[in-house]
C-alpha cells in the first residue's frame, strides 16, 4: 500500500540556474563546453508544469544577460525569480565591496530580463558561513528580503554546523542562531537548506545528496521535518535533470558531479506526488502566518511585483 504523507506543509523547491560547467569541480575540465542550458531548463519547466508546482529559480546575473528570453520564460511560467550572484563567484573569493557590486549587477541583469526585482539570494557554493558572515548586513542594505545559503552541515567546502533548520529572522550580531536571546533581529529571513535529524543528521536538501540517496530516504527526511511542522527547503540545478551533460573526467569528479543524474527527474516526480511544494517565498509567507518569521516580508513581496504567484495550492 502506498504510504500517505502530510501535505498540509508546503515545502520549498528551488533551482540554481547556472551553466553546468560553472560547478567548481568541473570548471577546469572543459575548454569549449556545450551549454545545455535551454534543454535543461525545459526539462525542469515541463516537470513543474505536470505537477502544477511553482519553484524559485536562483539565477546567475551573467546568465540573465546572456539568455534574457530563457529567464523571461521561467518568470512567465509563474516561478519566483531570485539571485545567485552575478558571476557565480563564491563569497570566499569576494570582499564586502565586491559582493555588494555583485548584488547590484545581478539585480539589474535579472530585472532587465524579467521586469522583476529579485528579493531572494543564494550564495554560489553555499558560501555564507561563519567566515563570510559580513554578507548579512550587505544583503539587508541592498534590499534583499531573504537569503537561502546556510547549510547546517559540516563539509570540506561549506556549511555551518548547528545552524537552525527552520526559517528565521537574522540577528546581525548572531546570524546563525534563532534563539530568542539574541536581539536586534532584522527583516532579512534566512531559509537554511534542509537537514533532517532522523536516525542521524541527513542532508536531504538536494543536489549531490539527493542524487546519491534513495528516494525513500529523501521522503523519510521530508516527512520527519513536516511532522515537526518544519517545511523542507530543497534545491537542484536544472542540469542535474539532464544526463546529456555528462562528460569524461576523473572518477571522484564524475562521482560527485553526475552520480544518479539519470534518476533525478523520476525522484522529483515522486517527491512532487507525495508532498506539497512551492516557492521559497511561499514558505516564508506561510512561516509568517505561523508566527515563525516577521510579517514585514510578506508585505514587501506583495508590493514589489504586484502579482501573487505563490498562493499555496489547495
Ligand atoms: Zn551555483
Q: Output the pLDDT for position 157.
A: 77
Question: What are the chain's domains?
Answer: 10-305 (3.20.20.370)
Q: Positive or negative CA dihedral for 250, 257, 130, 134? A: positive
Alpha carbon distances (Å) from 42 to 5, 86, 110, 192: 29, 22, 19, 27
If pLDDT is split at 50, 70 and 90, which confidence band does 174 have?
confident
Percent of the chain whose pLDDT exceeds 70? 84
Separation of CA 4 and ligand 1 centre (Å) = 33
Q: Output the pLDDT for position 303.
A: 35
If pLDDT is split at 50, 70 and 90, which confidence band does 294 have?
confident
Separation of CA 7 and ligand 1 centre (Å) = 29
If pLDDT is split at 50, 70 and 90, which confidence band does 114 have?
very high
Q: Output the pLDDT for position 182.
A: 56
Position with higher pLDDT, 178 vs 108: 108
Percent of the chain whose pLDDT exceeds 90? 58
Mean pLDDT, the chain, integer: 86
If pLDDT is split at 50, 70 and 90, which confidence band does 177 have?
confident
Q: Output the pLDDT for position 77.
A: 97
If pLDDT is split at 50, 70 and 90, which confidence band does 242 have?
confident
Separation of CA 11 and ligand 1 centre (Å) = 21
- For 263, residues 6+ apart whose C-beta sits below 8 A from its C-beta are 211
Q: Output the pLDDT for position 310.
A: 36
Q: Looking at residues 31-55, what average pLDDT do you find? A: 90
Separation of CA 237 and ligand 1 centre (Å) = 8
The gap between the terminal CA atoms of the chain, to the nearest Å, is 24
91-110 tens-digit pLDDT: 999 999 999 999 999 999 99
Separation of CA 34 and ligand 1 centre (Å) = 18
Strand partners, 206: 235
Q: Looking at residues 61-89, what average pLDDT do you find? A: 97
Separation of CA 83 and ligand 1 centre (Å) = 10
Q: What is the pTM of this model?
A: 0.89
Q: Output the pLDDT for position 254.
A: 67
Cell of 127: 558560501
Separation of CA 15 and ligand 1 centre (Å) = 9
If pLDDT is split at 50, 70 and 90, which confidence band does 307 have?
very low
CA trace torsion 220, 221, 224, 229 (10° rounding)? -130
Residues lining ligand 1 (ion), CB within 5 A? 16, 18, 124
Separation of CA 66 and ligand 1 centre (Å) = 16
Amino acid at each position: 500500500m502506498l504510504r500517505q504523507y502530510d501535505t498540509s506543509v508546503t515545502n520549498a523547491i528551488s533551482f540554481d540556474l547556472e551553466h553546468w560547467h560553472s560547478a567548481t569541480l568541473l570548471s577546469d575540465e572543459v575548454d569549449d563546453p556545450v551549454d545545455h542550458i535551454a534543454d535543461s531548463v525545459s526539462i525542469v519547466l515541463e516537470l513543474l508544469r505536470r505537477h502544477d508546482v511553482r519553484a524559485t529559480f536562483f539565477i546567475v546575473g551573467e546568465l540573465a544577460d546572456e539568455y534574457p528570453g530563457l529567464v523571461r520564460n521561467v518568470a512567465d511560467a509563474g516561478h519566483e525569480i531570485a539571485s545567485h550572484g552575478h558571476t557565480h563567484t563564491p563569497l570566499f573569493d569576494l570582499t564586502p565591496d565586491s559582493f555588494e557590486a555583485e548584488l547590484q549587477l545581478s539585480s539589474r541583469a535579472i530585472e532587465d530580463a524579467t521586469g522583476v526585482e529579485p528579493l531572494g539570494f543564494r550564495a554560489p557554493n553555499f558560501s555564507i558561513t561563519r567566515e563570510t558572515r559580513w554578507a548579512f548586513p550587505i544583503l539587508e542594505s541592498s534590499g534583499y528580503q531573504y537569503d537561502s545559503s546556510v547549510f547546517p552541515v559540516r563539509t570540506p567546502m561549506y556549511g555551518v554546523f548547528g545552524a537552525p533548520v527552520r526559517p528565521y529572522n537574522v540577528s546581525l550580531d548572531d546570524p546563525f542562531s534563532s534563539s530568542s536571546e539574541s536581539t536586534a533581529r532584522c527583516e532579512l529571513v534566512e531559509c537554511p537548506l534542509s537537514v533532517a535529524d532522523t536516525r542521524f543528521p541527513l542532508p536531504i536538501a538536494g543536489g549531490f545528496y539527493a542524487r546519491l540517496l534513495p528516494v525513500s530516504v529523501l521522503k523519510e527526511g521530508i516527512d520527519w521535518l513536516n511532522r515537526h511542522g518544519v517545511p523542507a527547503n530543497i534545491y537542484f540545478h536544472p542540469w542535474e535533470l539532464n544526463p546529456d551533460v555528462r562528460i569524461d573526467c576523473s572518477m571522484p569528479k564524475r562521482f560527485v558531479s553526475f552520480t544518479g543524474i539519470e534518476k533525478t527527474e523520476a525522484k522529483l516526480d515522486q517527491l512532487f506526488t507525495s508532498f506539497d511544494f512551492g516557492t521559497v517565498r511561499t514558505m516564508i509567507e506561510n512561516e509568517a502566518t505561523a508566527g515563525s518569521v516577521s510579517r514585514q516580508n510578506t508585505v514587501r513581496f506583495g508590493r514589489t511585483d504586484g502579482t501573487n504567484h505563490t498562493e499555496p495550492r489547495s
